[in-house]
Structure 1
C-alpha cells in the first residue's frame, strides 16, 4: 500500500483531533467555510481549503490524490452538501480512493425509552436533523456500493474534550444540572473519535459503528463529578419541567437511550476514555481541559 492521503470535508473539532493524532505524518487536507480558521487548522496539521458548497480547483486536485475520505458535514435542508457538490467526483475522479468515513450521530436511533440499542436497532429519528442524517447515511452507503469502496458510518454520541467539557462549563458559568427522571446520555471524547477513525482507516473497514462510551449517565452527575474535581460546589439541581431550554436542547431530552459500542470493539478498537470520570480526571490532571475552541463566546480565564 502506498502513502495514505486524507481529506476531511468539515475539519472542525473532531477533524482537528484526528489530525493531532497523526502519528504517521500522513498528508491531511481539510475544508472550512471560514478563512479565519485556516491558521488553527494548519497548527493542527491540516492543509486548509475553503468549501462553501462547490468544488474549487484546489479541492479537486486534492481529492484526486486522496486515499481516505472523511465527511463531517451535516445535511442541509434534506441535501447532503458534500454528496451534492462532490458525488460525481467521488464516483469518477478519485482513482486512489480506498475508504470513506461518514460521521453521523446516535440521534438516528431516536427515543428508545432508556433501553439499550446497538447497530441493529431500528432507527426512529425524531428531529428533522436526525431524519436527514438517516437519509445521508443511506446515500453514503449506496455510493460505497456503486464504487466498491468500504464506507464506515460512525454514529457519535455527545462530543466532548479539551475546551468542551463540564470543567470548562463550570468555569465559564454555563454549567447547569437539569434533572429529568430516568434520563441518560452517552458521550464520546474527541480523542476516541480520532482513535476510532485511525483504527478503521488502517484496516479500510466499512460498516456501521456506534462510537460512544461505555457508560450512559445522567447529565447532572457529570457536572457534579467535575465540580468535585475542581473542589467547588456544583450548581443546584433544576427540575426539567421548570427549565428554560432552547428547542434543540428540549429535543435532546426527548430522546432517551443507552447506546452500546460492541461493533467498534469487535473491530479491535480499545477506548482511551471509556467513561466520563476517566476523561475528566485525565483532563483535570493534565491541565488541558481549557484547550481547544471555546464552546461559547464568554470570556475564559
Structure 2
C-alpha cells in the first residue's frame, strides 16, 4: 500500500490552515508548525520537525523572514537536501517583491525590484528555496500573494471595529486574494506541478482580477451591510496615524496581473474580485 502524501506546513496560520483542511479532506497527512501553543496533535513547534523530514513529500513555507533570515531555511535546509520523499516546495511570498511601479502593471515575468527591507528579504528567501529545489530537481512554486482577506479578516471586520476610514486615493489600486483561492490555488499548484515533466521553479501571482482602491472595498462592504459608507479622508490626513508597515504599504503602487497563473493552475479564481468575495463571506456567516 502506497504511503499517503505528507504535507508539512511551516507556519500554519490563517491561509495555510485552509490549505491543511482541504488537503486532509483529500486524504493527505498534514503536519503544521505554529509559534503559539499547539491545540492539535498535528500542530508542533518548528524545532520538533526534524524527525518528520524522512517522510515528508511536500513542504509549504508560510513564515515571513526575520532579521536572521528564513527560520525554516536556517533550521532545515541541509536536512531537506537529503529528504528522500520530498517532491515539491511551495513558498508563500508577497507581491511586494515587485516594488513601486508608479501604478504600472506587472505580471509573473516581471523581475523583482524590492524597495523595502522586508521585500528584499522575501526575494532572498525565494531564491534560496528555488536553488534547493533545482539542486534536488524537484518542483518549486513561488506564490506571490496579494492582500489576503476572508472570513474574520475582511472589510466587514474593519467596519465593525468602528474605526473604518475610507482613504480617497483612487490612484492606489491594491491587489487582493481571498483565503479560499489561496488554499485551492495551492493544491492546484501541487497537482499541476506533478503533471509537468520538467521540474522547475514557477512564479505564480495569487491576485484577483480587479485591483481596486481601498475606498471602493469599504463602501461595497457597507452597502452589503446596509450601513452608511465610512467617513472619507485624504491619504495625507491618514498618513500620521498609520503604522510604519502601513505607510510602506501605501508608499508603493502597482497593478499585479495573474492571468498566466490562472492558466497554469487550470482554474479561474473562485472570487475574481472583492465583490464576489465579500458577498460569499456575508452569505456564509451573516453579521449581526
The corresponding residue for 1:9 is 10
> 1: distance between equivalents of 2:70 and 2:183?
23
> 2: distance between equivalents of 1:78 and 1:107?
20
The corresponding residue for 1:262 is 259
Worse-superposed segment, 145-154 or 260-269: 260-269
The corresponding residue for 2:269 is 271
> 2: distance between equivalents of 1:179 and 1:124?
27
Alignment of 1:173 onto 2:162: yes
> 2: distance between equivalents of 1:275 and 1:168?
18
> 2: distance between equivalents of 1:240 and 1:189?
25
What is the Cα deviation at residue 204 of structure 1? 2.8
> 1: distance between equivalents of 2:250 and 2:120?
17
User: Does the Cα contact within 8 Å between 1:158 and 1:187 map onto a contact in 2?
Assistant: yes
> 2: distance between equivalents of 1:140 and 1:19?
21
SS at the partner of 2:271?
A: coil
SS at the partner of 1:7?
A: strand
TM-score, with structure 2 as normaliser:
0.92
CA RMSD of aligned residues (A): 1.6
1:1-301 counterparts in 2 under 5 A?
3-22=4-23, 23-35=25-37, 38-39=38-39, 42=40, 47-51=42-46, 55-56=47-48, 59-77=49-67, 79-92=69-82, 94-204=83-193, 206-243=201-238, 244-267=241-264, 268-287=266-285
> 1: distance between equivalents of 2:64 and 2:152?
22
- Structure 1: tracts of 5 or more residues without a match: 291-300
Q: 1:97 to 1:237 in 2, by over 3 A?
A: same
> 1: distance between equivalents of 2:164 and 2:187?
32
The corresponding residue for 1:294 is none
What is the Cα deviation at residue 139 of structure 1? 0.8
The corresponding residue for 2:198 is none
User: Does the Cα contact within 8 Å between 2:4 and 2:27 map onto a contact in 1?
Assistant: no
TM-score, with structure 1 as normaliser:
0.88
- Structure 2: tracts of 5 or more residues without a match: 195-200
The corresponding residue for 1:293 is none
What is the Cα deviation at residue 259 of structure 1? 0.4
What is the Cα deviation at residue 34 of structure 1? 1.3
User: Does the Cα contact within 8 Å between 2:98 and 2:112 map onto a contact in 1?
Assistant: yes
User: Does the Cα contact within 8 Å between 1:119 and 1:210 map onto a contact in 2?
Assistant: yes
